[in-house]
Amino acid sequence: MKFSVACIFLLVSCFAVAQPNAAVRPKIGVTLSGGGAKGLAHIGILKAIDSAGLNIDYITGTSMGSIIGSLYAVGYSADSIEKIARVIDWDLLLSNQSSLRSIFMEEKDEYSKYVIELPWVNHRFRLPSGVLQGQELWLKFSELFFPVYNQKDFSRFSVPFRCIGTDVGTGEAVVMQEGEIISAIRSSMAIPSVFTAVDFNGRKLIDGGLVRNFPVKDVKEMGADFVIGSNVATGLMPSEKVRNALQILLQVAFFREAEDNKKEVAQCDIYVPFKMEKYSMGSFGDSKELMELGLEEGRKLYPRFKHIADSLNAIYGPQPPRPDRLPQVHGVVISSYEVHGVERTSAEFFIHTMNFETNKFYTARILANMVRQAYGTRYYSRVTYSLVPQPDGTSRIIFDVTEYPLTFAKLGLHYNRFTGVGLIANLTARNFFLTNSRSLVSVNIGETFRIRGEHLQYLGRLKNVAAILETQYDNFDIGTYTESKQDGLYNLNFFKFGGKVQFSAKRTFTIGGGGRFEWVKYSPKISTELEFKGSKKFFTPFVYMNHNSLDKNIYPKRGIKLDVEAGWVAPQNSRVRFYENGLEVPPELIPISDKSFYRTSVNLESYTPLSKRSTFLFNVQGGANFNYGDNVLNEFVIGGLTKTFRNQITFAGLPEGAEYSSSALAVQGGLRVQAFNNTYLIGRANVLVNNFVKETGYLTTRDFFSGYSVTFAYNFALGPLEISAMYCDQTRKIQSYVNLGIPF
């Protein structure tokens, strides 16, 4: 209390000496340091300032401090900023991924599937840069700062604002006070080797924390007489804690800033240091704890802030309450546009993928979703926009586009007990044969050999019609089981070639139809008492419907995925022989039918968040062959925890190939709990009903199964690692199951 009184007395005295005839209220400035995730603690200080009724006249910030500070400057209250920070998906914002919901239906299965993606640039494959484009971060900023889209002078915000960047060419501090606010704060937080540099007003800028992480000097230059400084930076790390190349790079980069920080601290009237040694710049998984630290510190400071506010009001009179500081802008009419950066595609293609039209009313959310639509084509690595007010009250929108290279080589790794170890290599090229197309070849090299090719051609103005040609060949071994004990082994060869046309009404739904030719061949490798050998060829016209509203491919938190197909298997060409104890059974004793039959299949996955760390899982898989009695080689194959091959129905409790059925329905429920970052515990229970249409003439299968599994999962650089134990009530066997990576 004494300190606050002394500060006010000194402030008023100094001001009176400087201007003896003027009763001008002293100006209060706030400076917020950089510090990555730790900067979330600044919110607690601003909340205390708001609660005390202390009006801020100027604000400066660097990096995360520039984000929090700019939101406050344009008119968001500290309480609103806290609510925003608590609901943000930091994992999504601080990645090079977008929500799966924004990706074209045709692209979803391949999205984020591979561990390594190498672009073809300047006649060679280039190693990935590892830096973040921050597409979702740009879009989130675009929504938050939409109310001030027409204000390019930061001094005209509700609270005048400046932030700091570093010129990558000269190493000089750049004080940003006019231009595009989104570009300014994105520049200020562009940590080298983490985020890409940003072009701002003709200069290429990176994180301002390299030269001035705590810009007290700048808030005083704006006119602040009294400065409150909140500093979450912990300074340089002790040498014994610098253990890797990135830490060394950051340590060297911040040498200069460490010296500058000493000068800046000395200029604060109230200095708020935070002790956060156990947190790092990337501790966004601890965002709740970091905000609580700030709120706790704010509660301690509240009496001082309140005393300052009351003292100023007593001396200069109470200030009138501020009106709603955030401008109310619901949307704009866009009358024209520009597209910068398109070379491999065209402005027309870009505009059409968004279904953008001029002279229409657009809100921030609509524009963000339209940008996501363009990004979802996978032609663009970053899409940003700015709005320029026009004399007639409309706006001109300027899109800045960064295109992906047209060709990528991709690598993944997969292992489970069924397929063994496999390296998955993929080559994807766009516009290779025709414009607006994607062609790919994927091959699984290892204990199992698989290869797949696909050509996808987008059609129509909105690119929501696609024609697809696809082919695949598989060669792997599959076991046969008696009472869950493996007693035989078959080599399976499978080939298909087909085409289809589909219409996607939106990014989550598509319908289509097509036809495919298939060839299946089984050859025994480990003989059993009764076995078969042979092949079938057949053609299947089909129709299908797909819905996918999952938020991501790996461990989604919410959404539904539904795949339904109905087809007619035309008369077949069979060459199948049965053997008993090594001797061929006469064909007339076990006749094989080649007649046609109808076939349906369904797969439903549902994910419902129960809390921030728990998700309810629900899955229905099924299929039925109608009029199938004397057919063979087209049964549904039951077992395993990972969907890997044709006609498979996964079931917790049985290994792959444990049962075969011409009609089966499996229903599964489960709970996934995130124990730690990237670490999960998953429990599942399921039931299986077989033979509800007609039992096949050659295979005997129980009508009912029930089973369970418990899984420890860790999602790391090579993909998800899952170690499971599963149990089936009917076989009374406990079995282990290991899966690494995403299957072919």
pLDDT, tens digit, 9 for 90 and up, residues 533-551: 999 999 999 999 999 999 9
Other Cβ atoms within 10 Å of 9 Cβ, number: 11
How far apart are alpha carbons 226 and 657 in whole angstroms?
75
Is a pLDDT exceeding 50 seen at residue 4? no
How far apart are alpha carbons 157 and 171 in whole angstroms?
28
For strand 573-580 and strand 530-548, is the pairing parallel, antiparallel, or unpaired?
antiparallel
How far apart are alpha carbons 311 and 4 in whole angstroms?
10
How far apart are alpha carbons 230 and 33 in whole angstroms?
6
How far apart are alpha carbons 480 and 486 in whole angstroms?
6
- Residue 593 confidence (pLDDT): 86
- The pLDDT confidence band at residue 14, using thresholds 50, 70 and 90, is very low
CA distances from 241 to 277, 303, 343, 416, 426 (A): 11, 38, 46, 38, 39
- The pLDDT confidence band at residue 313, using thresholds 50, 70 and 90, is very high
Q: Do 674 and 613 touch, CB atoms closer than 8 A?
A: yes
CA 242 to chain centre: 30
Residue with tokens 């042979």: 534
Is a pLDDT exceeding 70 seen at residue 618? yes
Task: Calculate what percentage of the chain has a pLDDT beyond 90.
Answer: 69
235 vs 108, residue with greater confidence: 108
Mean pLDDT of 697-717: 89
Task: Calculate what percentage of the chain has a pLDDT beyond 70.
Answer: 92
- Residue 729 confidence (pLDDT): 96
Element (H, E) at 467: strand 465-482
Sign of CA pseudo-dihedral 509, 511, 515, 520: positive
- 10 Å CB burial of residue 404 (0-12, 13-18, 19+) is middle
Is a pLDDT exceeding 90 seen at residue 528? no
Mean pLDDT of 513-533: 91
Q: Do 371 and 139 touch, CB atoms closer than 8 A?
A: yes
Is a pLDDT exceeding 70 seen at residue 57? yes
Mean pLDDT of 433-450: 95
Alpha helices in 582-707 (DSSP H): none
How far apart are alpha carbons 302 and 313 in whole angstroms?
16
Q: Which two tokens stand for residue 560?
A: 């539904």
Q: For the chain, what is the total number of helices (H) and then of strands (E)?
A: 13, 35
Phi and psi based region of residue 729 (left: phi greater than 0; alpha: psi -120 to 50; beta: remaining):
alpha
523 vs 13, residue with greater confidence: 523
Is a pLDDT exceeding 50 seen at residue 13? no
End-to-end CA distance of the chain: 67
- Residue 193 confidence (pLDDT): 66
Q: Do 727 and 734 touch, CB atoms closer than 8 A?
A: yes
Range in 106-110, 482-486, 490-494, 638-642 with the lowest mean pLDDT: 482-486
Question: Using alpha carbons only, what angle is made at residue 187 by residues 183 and 189, rounded to the nearest 5 degrees?
Answer: 125
- The pLDDT confidence band at residue 130, using thresholds 50, 70 and 90, is low
Q: Do 597 and 663 touch, CB atoms closer than 8 A?
A: no
pLDDT digits (tens, 9 = 90+) for 225-271: 999 999 998 765 556 656 565 555 555 555 555 666 778 899 999 99
How far apart are alpha carbons 720 and 672 in whole angstroms?
14
Of 135, 121, 168, the closest CA to residue 400 belongs to: 135
